[in-house]
Amino acid sequence: MGRITLDKVSKSFGEVEVIPPLDLTIDDGEFVVFVGPSGCGKSTLLRLIAGLEDVSGGEIRIDKQPATHLPPAKRGLAMVFQSYALYPHMSVKKNIAFPMKMAGIPEAEQERKIADAAAALNLTDYLDRRPGQLSGGQRQRVAIGRAIVREPAAFLFDEPLSNLDAALRVGMRMEISELHKKLATTMIYVTHDQVEAMTMADKIVVLRAGVIEQVGSPLELYREPRNLFVAGFIGSPKMNLVTGAGDLMQGAATIGVRPEHTAASKTEGRWKGVVGVSEHLGSDTFLHVHETGLAETVTVRVGGEFDANHGDTVYLTPEEDKIHRFDGEGLRIA
């Protein structure tokens, strides 16, 4: 069905190697998220899989068939683009029908599939509209509809939610997750937003400068980040990475404490510091604490009722069994 294997795949643009040789296996039915800061090569990797770019070396196999040199259309994959890439001159219906028209599927079958997709995506009332007359969320659904009707071996999503506003993004996130559960088709999803990665993925692939930093389930990455980069990237707010914390170091060069694994008190605790900013979210409060002697700022999450203001002295205490330790190279110490 939709098992995708990358074997020593690499990509260079001229002299610049953006992706050094890389191995990755994506299992059938898996929801895999490529995540990393902008410029990490995640979109390039997706485009290599799609066939929109040539690989500079290595092999891509889709369902054990070599696909490295197949044109995009022959790979049996569907893609949802960041800008949705809808055809502005065609109605919603024609947009969804386009891949089927190209494949020469009979009209009657096209009609049936369009109706199914439209019903599943709440687009039935909009079939005769042009993309320009739709909201961002609706356009996104049309793009997904266009992908669904092809019954692809895998769906590729290239930052599909980044053009939506925050509220809509949460909704669409869940719709895509639900779609995945329903179709049970392989999905590869590219994002720079670690929240999307954590909430949607079966498997997260963290990329930096074209190199895979870690592959694992969201909780694996959260609990056991393999190195400082993953530690800093996964989790919100970011893990505090501190040095010089005395006996807590236990031989590590850097230790990491997540804000949610640190307690704060006005009277006593391991580390003393001064509150710079306290952000009240209602349920929680984030304290950004300076002058701890550990890092410029240490962030802690406390309950919403904890009362601290700029300039107050607070004492912080990390949960010792939740401390992450990294060596001088930045690698996790087991």
Partner 1 sequence: MATQHSRSAARIMMAPAVILLLGWMLIPLTMTLVFSFKKYLPMRGGDLGWVGFENYVRFVTSSAFWPAVGTTLVIVGGVLVITVVFGVLLAMLLDQPMWGQGIVRLLVIAPFFVMPTVSALVWKNMFMDPVNGLLAHLWKFFGAQPVEWLSDASMTSIIMIVSWQWLPFATLILLTAIQSLDSEQLEAAEMDGAKPLSRFGYIILPHLARAITIVVLIQTIFLLSIFAEIFVTTQGSFGTRTLTYLIFQRVLESQNVGLGSAGGVYAIILANIVAIFLMRIVGKNLDA
Partner 2 sequence: MARAVTTQRKTINTIFAWAVGLLIFFPILWTILTSFKTEATAIADPPVFLFFDWTLENYAVVQERSNYMRFLWNSVIIAGGSTILGVIIAVPAAWSMAFVPSKRTKDILLWMLSTKMLPAVGVLYPIYLLFIKLGILDTRVGLVVVMMLINLPIIVWMLYTYFKEIPGEILEAARMDGASLREEIIHVLTPMAVPGIASTILLNFILAWNEAFWTLNLTAAKAAPLTAFIASYSSPEGLFYAKLSAASVMAIAPILVMGWFSQKQLVRGLTFGAVK
86 interface partner picked from partner 1, partner 2, none, CB below 5 to 8 A per type: partner 2
Q: Pick from 12, 21, 52, 330 the residue near partner 2 by CB under 8 A.
A: 52
| Ranges within 96-135 binding partner 2 (CB under 8 A) | 98-99, 102-103
The residue from 52, 170, 195, 211 that contacts partner 1 (CB under 8 A) is 52
3-state class of 87 per DSSP? coil
For the purposes of burial, counting CB atoms within 10 Å of the CB of 64, is it exposed (0-12), middle (13-18) or buried (19 or more)? exposed
- Sheet containing 77-80, strands listed edge to edge, beginning at the edge strand earlier in sequence: 77-80, 154-158, 186-191, 31-35, 203-208, 211-216
Query: Of partner 1, partner 2, none, which one sits near residue 54, judging by CB under 5 to 8 A according to partner kind?
Result: partner 1
Under rule CB under 8 A, residue 89 binds partner 2: yes
Max CA-CA distance within the chain?
A: 75
Question: Among partner 2, partner 1, none, what binds residue 78 when CB lies within 5 to 8 Å by partner kind?
Answer: partner 2
Q: How far is the CB of 24 from partner 1 (least distance, A)?
A: 20
What is the length of the chain?
Answer: 334
Q: Parallel, antiparallel, or unpaired for β 203-208 and 31-35? A: parallel
Indicate the residue among 48 and 187 with the shorter CB distance to partner 1.
Answer: 48
Q: Which does 53 bind (CB under 5 to 8 A by kind): partner 1, partner 2, none?
A: partner 1
Q: Which does 228 bind (CB under 5 to 8 A by kind): partner 1, partner 2, none?
A: none
Other C-beta atoms closer than 10 Å to the C-beta of 43 total 21
Give the footprint of partner 2 on residues 140-179 (CB under 8 A): 146, 150
Q: Tell me how many degrees the CA angle 326-222-188 measures, rounded to the nearest 5.
A: 120
Contacts of 42 (CB under 8 A, 6+ apart): 34, 35, 36, 190, 192, 207
Q: Which is nearer to partner 1, 56 or 177 (CB)?
A: 56
Interface with partner 2 (CB under 8 A): 50, 52, 71-73, 77-79, 81-83, 85-89, 98-99, 102-103, 146, 150
